Amino acid sequence: MNGAESLVNTLVDQGVDICFANPGTSEMHFLAALENPRMRSVLCLFEGVATGAADGYSRMAGKPAAVLLHLGPGLGNGLANMHNAKRAKSPMVVIVGGHATYHNRYDAPLQSDIEGIARTMSEWVHTSGHQRDIGRDAARAVQVARSTPGKVVTLVLPADVSWSEGGVVGVRREPAPVLNVDKAVIEAAAATLQAGEKTVLLIGGAAMRERGMLAAKRIAQATGATVLATGSNRSERGAGLPVFSRVAYLGEQAVAQMAGTQNLILAGALISIALNALLFAAIGPAQSWARARSAWARKLDLRDDPLAALPMSTDRKLLSDQVVLVGYGRVGRHIAATLDRAHVHYVVADSNREVVEALRKRGKAAVTGDASDPIVLVQAHITKAAMLVVTTPDPVSSRKMVDIARKLNPGIEAVLRSETEDGATLLRKEKLGEVFVAEEELATSMARHVAGRLTKRTAH
């Protein structure tokens, strides 16, 4: 059994039995392995069609679909619908063929940083380095994709790992069980619904399926609550199902829609806390209550990925006046080391699961996910943080993170990184925080060294 065959067998054993493919020569052995009678392969003429089809399939089937793409350029062509899948929380396993490992040093025309490209739209990325590991890696990939909510994961398959004999089928790995909402939270919601005040039940996500929609209808009929809907990756329709009004797209209209509301109960719609700022400005008491109780928000976030939330055993003293450090690359590691020497508490938010796992093993507080997603910042206890430090250089993402952080914690300070003067100018113009430019800081440090050396020489 070669590596490709062990990969396909592992996928079908894990319940992934369809693959939308736009392959190239690097993936020939994987294509041959797809002839497995338990696997259905669908040839697509464009990478965006493959990723879009996998997204749609996973939404309707409720399980992951696989995608096969050719090298970094092929992955790049599929990113748009990987973005849609990521936002929709659709489970998707993206297999990207790579050059043979020994060929990478020759910098072939299609050579690229596949992992770097994948991380922009994937919540787990890994490159298999040996045919005996590909089955284990595939099992881990499907486990992450199947967690709740679903995730886009990318597994890079070098050509020599694919064709080499010695593959081993991975052992099936089940995702962690879905966490239940505390009984006290449910009782508090029931009491609120029965209080006779104007209450809105805001539903989204999985609550937009038949069972959730019928339950919301019964609650509204029994209590007089208004039901509003937010976005969902799949909203069921048909005879006997209620149709709920959606929260208005424009903030001003949403405020009018919510006028007079005294209580807001969320079901599968926690993300609205941070994103619908104008809507929540009309509900001051609810906003203040949510800001002061990030632990409550964490319980309502039903993500079961153990790395997506801090362990309940985390020392609470470490989660007040701490630094939220976004990104643990070269810059982030240097900052963390400096904070450690200064005995300053921090929580790391990084999209690389391996990084977060390694930090957890060292006893560091860390969560995995895209920090431009409000839920990730909530899990990092941004509501109690003293400072947000963003080490990733993308000004658009930085702006979004600061905006979310200030809505949840108006007094927080922000420190941002920019690779270019234009990006720094944009961030400074909007007064988003203290901005550091890589070239500026390098020039300043070099100039300080030169001046110091010459000053000493002159003194002698």
Task: Look over the chain and give the mean of its residue pLDDT values, rounded to a whole number.
Answer: 85
Please tell me the predicted confidence (pLDDT) of residue 460: 57
Indicate the pLDDT class of residue 269, thresholds 50, 70 and 90.
Answer: low
Share of the chain above pLDDT 70, in %: 89
CB atoms within 10 A of CB 80: 14
93-113 mean pLDDT = 91
Report the pLDDT value the prediction gives residue 290, as an integer from 0 to 100. Answer: 46
pLDDT, tens only, 55-68: 999 999 989 999 99
90 in helix, strand or coil?
coil
Q: Distance between CA 371 and CA 51 in Å, rounded?
A: 24
Residue 389, beta-bridge partner list: 325, 415
Residue 251: which pLDDT band, with cuts at 50, 70 and 90? confident
Exposure of 382 in the CB half-sphere (CA atoms within 13 A): 32
User: Cα–Cα distance between 251 and 253 in angstroms, integer?
Assistant: 5
**pLDDT of 383 higher than 70:** yes
Average pLDDT over residues 381-399: 89
Comparing CA positions, the residue from 295, 268, 17 lying closest to residue 182 is 295
Residue 274's pLDDT is 38
Sheet of 40-43: strands edge to edge?
40-43, 18-22, 65-70, 92-98, 152-158, 124-127
Span 255-264, average pLDDT: 86
Phi, psi angles (nearest 5°) of residue 147: -65, 165
Judge whether 402 and 384 are in contact, CB under 8 Å. Answer: no
| pLDDT of 414 strictly over 90 | yes
Q: What pLDDT shows up at residue 458?
A: 64
pLDDT band at 276 (very low <50, low <70, confident <90, very high): very low
> According to the model, what pLDDT value does residue 459 have?
62
What is the pLDDT, as a whole number, of residue 50? 97
Give mean pLDDT, residues 404-427.
Answer: 86
pLDDT for 300 beyond 50: no
Query: What is the average per-residue pLDDT within 219-244?
Result: 88
Mean pLDDT computed over 105-129: 92
Predicted confidence band of residue 457 (pLDDT cuts 50, 70, 90): low
Strand ordering across the sheet containing 346-350: 365-368, 346-350, 323-326, 387-390, 413-418, 434-437
pLDDT at 125 over 90: yes
Helix, strand, coil share (%) of the chain residues, nearest 5: 50, 15, 35
CA-closest candidate to residue 96, choices 154, 46, 151: 154
Q: In the structure, what pLDDT confidence band is assigned to residue 305 with cuts at 50, 70 and 90? A: low
pLDDT tier, 282 (very low <50, low <70, confident <90, very high otherwise) = very low
> What is the percent of the chain where pLDDT is above 90?
49
Burial class (CB in 10 A: 0-12, 13-18, 19+), 136: middle
Task: Check residue 295 and give its pLDDT.
Answer: 45
pLDDT at 161: 94
User: What's the mean pLDDT in 154-172?
Assistant: 94
Q: What does the alpha-carbon distance between residue 351 and residue 371 come to, in Å, rounded to a whole number?
A: 8
Task: Say if CB 157 and CB 384 are below 8 A apart.
Answer: no
Average pLDDT score over residue span 203-217: 88
260 sits in the region (left: phi over 0; alpha: psi -120 to 50; else beta) called left
Residues in the chain, overall count:
460
- Both tokens assigned to 427: 């961030």
Do 255 and 112 touch, CB atoms closer than 8 A?
A: no
Tokens of 60: 């309707």
Whole-angstrom Cα Rg for the chain:
24
Q: Say if residue 297's pLDDT is above 80.
A: no
Confidence of residue 456 (pLDDT cuts 50, 70, 90): low
- 4 vs 318, more confident: 4
Dihedral angle computed from the Cα positions of residues 454, 456, 459 and 460, in that order, rounded to the nearest 10 degrees: -100
What pLDDT, on the 0 to 100 scale, is given for residue 232? 79
**pLDDT band with cut points at 50, 70 and 90 for residue 34:** very high
Nearest to 33 by CA among 112, 97, 83, 120: 97
Residue among 332, 367, 375 at smallest CA distance from 350: 367
pLDDT tens digit sequence for 323-332: 999 999 989 9
| Residue 339 pLDDT > 90 | yes
CA distance 26 to 100: 8
Whether residue 78 has pLDDT greater than 90: yes
Is the pLDDT reported for residue 261 higher than 50? yes
Average of per-residue pLDDT across 129-147: 94
**Predicted confidence band of residue 179 (pLDDT cuts 50, 70, 90):** low
Decide if pLDDT at 283 tops 50. no
Q: Is the pLDDT of residue 20 over 80?
A: yes
The CA dihedral of 213, 215, 221, 224, to the nearest 10 degrees, is -80
| Cis ω before 23 (30° cut-off from 0) | no
Helical spans, DSSP H, in 34-70: 47-61
CB 67 within 8 Å of CB 95: yes
- Contact by Cβ (8 Å): 209, 183: no
